[in-house]
Structure 1
């Protein structure tokens, strides 16, 4: 029984290996049975056989039984290699062959070595007993000693019953192995490394397809979706809608492409996929981008919470804007301590399935509120001069915002492994449903938000609504909760990247202490950074251009092109090639525009919208002849002067011509001490 690793399978290499490892040890065989491989059919191998006096025989095509002993030996060797937790199978092979040669065979009542040599072969003593001596240096002998300590003979039992065996000590054991049920490499071990009892939370529980879809949509619908109205305004309403459809289709294809690449490489994580395609440089590039995107997304989520909840607290408590409750830093800190930090300490994304469903319910309420305010506005919002234009030149920033809104590629493998039925076909269906649902939500946000505010649209859609609008204040609270429930999904990814780097670079395994330290560090840093910035629009654009576009469109495409067999210009690879070129073009143009904006010193400052100005005193409608009411908060002519100044400022900022002089303004007091103005 011989098995030899080969660097290649050329005819010369195979012939030399046959001579060196068989003929020189056991002599020349009389007959040699081979399959119809090109190496054995070559003239070189035939000449060697004639020289040695060997009679060659070939197996029948598509009839493996004719060489069944060798095929069975291949299966046995592969199974034995998988049982060893070793990255280099070539180091494991000699020990596997030693065990197979020394193992007792029931059919012949002897071992292979006994049949060849006429006697048993001696095995290393430490294969059975604990080591009696220890070597200090890291030499071949010490490595062999450690390897032998991991091996113990196991009694073979043949069972006819198919009842699942559960060991009686499973509930109190100190270590557990985790079986890998996904598609594996040919020689990949079927079980993951033993984990301590404290690390059992690392086990991957699964969720139903509906739960996976909820997690899928929830990972997409984050802070980016409220920037869609701004994207429609930047690209023009007509072109913006076309781009939104295009980005959804492209994102759907890229997500499917990622799992295809995973099946080709046998690596079901983004880092492993890049390493299989481009080696260590690809792993470093991917790890950097995969950390940047969710990290900035976590910052944007905190910004949304700080900006929206403060307005609600001011409205509810009637506190001054300078008080502690009106401080966005205070709100972000409370949300971090009591909501996001505890949720981020979970280790399994499947535990968030019910929470994800709850967040989708909140999103539905927010959409209904936006629809109500589009039909029944709280205050009159004048159209801007560039409202409803079909095309605009700010296409690249719009693509960046949309890419950020649809981005969930960093969560792809977490979602895939959480599925009960994890295969390509099921993943395709779940992806189609999730992306279609997300596109509907994003399109509704975009169309209704743009229709309400047109050119007044801000990066955060909810910032456009008046602080006194209680319906939208409820929506602000619910959307903030949704964002806070999406925050842990992004934290899972950043933590996974750091843990992978610690394992790959430093050799540090996952423990509960490391899990807690890394999680709390990430949450704390993002909390501090979100406190020092309140500019959501540029954050969305920056993350979309620099991280989302490469992660979503460039890297999945180039990985698939690298791993799939055939020419780059083959029918299978052309769509992936176009996807990669599209992503590179957007990333380059977006980076140039960001650099130009940074050079100009562009910044965003939160300010009251012009149509809020009059809302502090009265509720005004589109018809300037309507009669409006307001509470008398001042007295006499001072009150009338305040109203007139507010109307003048509002008319100027909204670009509405107002006749001068104002004309007669009839002031009366009704029964509840409300002043009624008839504005002409």
Structure 2
């Protein structure tokens, strides 16, 4: 798929009228090569192009990939491809808006863009939204560890049921995983250092995709084992093993927000941009396009091969459907372990924007300090662990935060930043780019209202 080409950003040559210094005037220069290149931070970015792609792709990739086959079963292959393509292109455009806004005012922090656009309330709003959204994401990853890791250990030990041993208790396991794996990675000074772990995480998800493709050609339809788990009175239609190109049902409307949330990576874009070696807007936009294209390919192939394996009986969690076919399948057991590794290694990447948001709110003028850096990470992980351990059903909390923060980060804030920050003498409100940004922001409000409406209807009906 050819991604949407992004137009060149506007340079702030006339910034004197707006009181905003041109990009590059207020930043430190490279000290070793004598070139007059702008720097946005007090250190020279050293993260390579490839590592930046790994980090951004890992930020995009989430546990939602397990439900894409189910989403395709409720839309059909053609409609799903159309929706996935539209969301991917919109995500690229959203990154374009962020980079243009950051380039004009010389800022590479989401919260500072909020302050430049709307003053201190804008800074607080951006920081709070990033914090809520990423805490929800980290909690969802640790929930997977809590419920899946005991099953993996049980299978490796050859036990038929989970025992009362401490090493089979999910609450103990997430604490151990947090202390031994997540915390050391989260205390690294720069996000770029996580490029290697992000590469390993993506490799695990590629292994998951390969297993899905392999199983498509090794599981025949119809599946009596799967069908026997449904009600005996539920008839099996004659076309159950035929793929549908277009499908409209009561679950179809949920697919659009699900796909939109699958590409949320925008809080990580500017931190990755800050640590990029030889940073330019064009280079960072290319990183965004390559990352989204890679996730687009993985999402589509995972969805289509998962759907073509189980067709109308695809469940919301794809691995659970495979387990119904053969609970002791060694390959699926390895896939579960790979998914656990992937989500565990994603938590530190998601934590970095939260820590940066807190630093921007509480210590905006303070230099880097290791004690502050580590303390914030420990406190965040402590709060997330408490949520995962003591909240029995956090689905509604995630539903509300996901329906409000995700469209805000993808659509609403990037569009508003662009409208407010780009000088009116260069682009009036009647110009095409700002009209597009306004429509983009409106689309975000539509997504938010639609998602909240669906959640409200579920609450009133009492359905899951």
TM-score (norm 1): 0.57
Report the alpha carbon displacement of residue 531 of structure 1 after superposing the two structures with TM. Answer: 2.8
Q: Which residue of 2 aligns with 1:17?
A: none
- Give the Cα–Cα distance (whole angstroms) in 2 for the partners of residues 180 and 300 of structure 1: 44
Pairwise mapping of residues 257-268 of structure 1 onto structure 2 (< 5 A)? Answer: 257-268=97-108
Distance 1:374 1:538, change over 3 A: farther
Q: Bigger relative contact order, structure 1 or 2, given CA contacts below 8 A and separation 6+?
A: 2
Residue range with higher mean Cα deviation, 452-461 or 331-340: 452-461
Q: Which residue of 2 aligns with 1:290?
A: 130
Distance 1:433 1:341, change over 3 A: same
- Alignment partner of 1:554 out of 404, 412, 435: 412
The answer to which structure has the higher strand fraction is 1
Report the alpha carbon displacement of residue 554 of structure 1 after superposing the two structures with TM. Answer: 1.0
Q: Which residue of 1 aligns with 2:5?
A: none
Report the alpha carbon displacement of residue 535 of structure 1 after superposing the two structures with TM. Answer: 6.0
Q: Which residue of 2 aligns with 1:149?
A: none
Report the alpha carbon displacement of residue 247 of structure 1 after superposing the two structures with TM. Answer: 0.6
Q: Which residue of 2 aligns with 1:323?
A: 164
- Give the Cα–Cα distance (whole angstroms) in 2 for the partners of residues 527 and 459 of structure 1: 25
What SS class does the counterpart of residue 569 from structure 1 fall into?
Answer: coil
Report the alpha carbon displacement of residue 560 of structure 1 after superposing the two structures with TM. Answer: 0.6
What SS class does the counterpart of residue 465 from structure 1 fall into?
Answer: helix
Distance 1:456 1:338, change over 3 A: farther
Report the alpha carbon displacement of residue 451 of structure 1 after superposing the two structures with TM. Answer: 2.4
- Give the Cα–Cα distance (whole angstroms) in 1 for the partners of residues 275 and 70 of structure 2: 34
Larger radius of gyration: 1
TM-score (norm 2): 0.82
Report the alpha carbon displacement of residue 232 of structure 1 after superposing the two structures with TM. Answer: 2.4
- Alignment partner of 2:216 out of 351, 368, 374: 374
Q: Which residue of 2 aligns with 1:106?
A: none
Unaligned runs of 5+ in 2: 1-15, 228-234
- Give the Cα–Cα distance (whole angstroms) in 2 for the partners of residues 247 and 182 of structure 1: 33
Distance 1:292 1:230, change over 3 A: farther
1:568-590 deviations in whole A, cap 9, x for unaligned?
A: 23112232222111111010111
Q: Which residue of 2 aligns with 1:144?
A: none
- Alignment partner of 2:299 out of 422, 442, 445: 442
1:349-408 deviations in whole A, cap 9, x for unaligned?
A: 111111222222222111111111122129654496687452234444222221221110
- Alignment partner of 1:428 out of 279, 285, 299: 285
Distance 1:346 1:384, change over 3 A: farther
Q: Which residue of 2 aligns with 1:410?
A: 267
Distance 1:550 1:306, change over 3 A: same
Q: 2:74–2:247: 8 Å Cα contact kept in structure 1? A: no
1:625-650 deviations in whole A, cap 9, x for unaligned?
A: xxxxxxxxxxxxxxxxxxxxxxxxxx
Q: Which residue of 2 aligns with 1:646?
A: none
Q: Does 1:223 align with 2:63?
A: yes
Distance 1:289 1:83, change over 3 A: closer
Pairwise mapping of residues 362-401 of structure 1 onto structure 2 (< 5 A)? Answer: 362-377=204-219, 380=224, 381-382=226-227, 388=244, 390-401=247-258
Report the alpha carbon displacement of residue 83 of structure 1 after superposing the two structures with TM. Answer: 10
The answer to which structure has the higher helix fraction is 2
- Give the Cα–Cα distance (whole angstroms) in 2 for the partners of residues 443 and 421 of structure 1: 32
Q: Does 1:348 align with 2:348?
A: no
Q: 1:409–1:552: 8 Å Cα contact kept in structure 2? A: yes
Q: Give aligned pairs, total.
A: 418
1:152-202 deviations in whole A, cap 9, x for unaligned?
A: xxxxxxxxxxx959xxxxxxxxxxxxx996466xxxxxx85xxxxxxxxxx
- Alignment partner of 2:83 out of 237, 243, 247: 243
- Alignment partner of 1:213 out of 43, 47, 53: 53
- Alignment partner of 1:563 out of 403, 421, 428: 421
Q: 1:336–1:523: 8 Å Cα contact kept in structure 2? A: yes
- Give the Cα–Cα distance (whole angstroms) in 2 for the partners of residues 306 and 411 of structure 1: 25
- Give the Cα–Cα distance (whole angstroms) in 2 for the partners of residues 212 and 484 of structure 1: 19
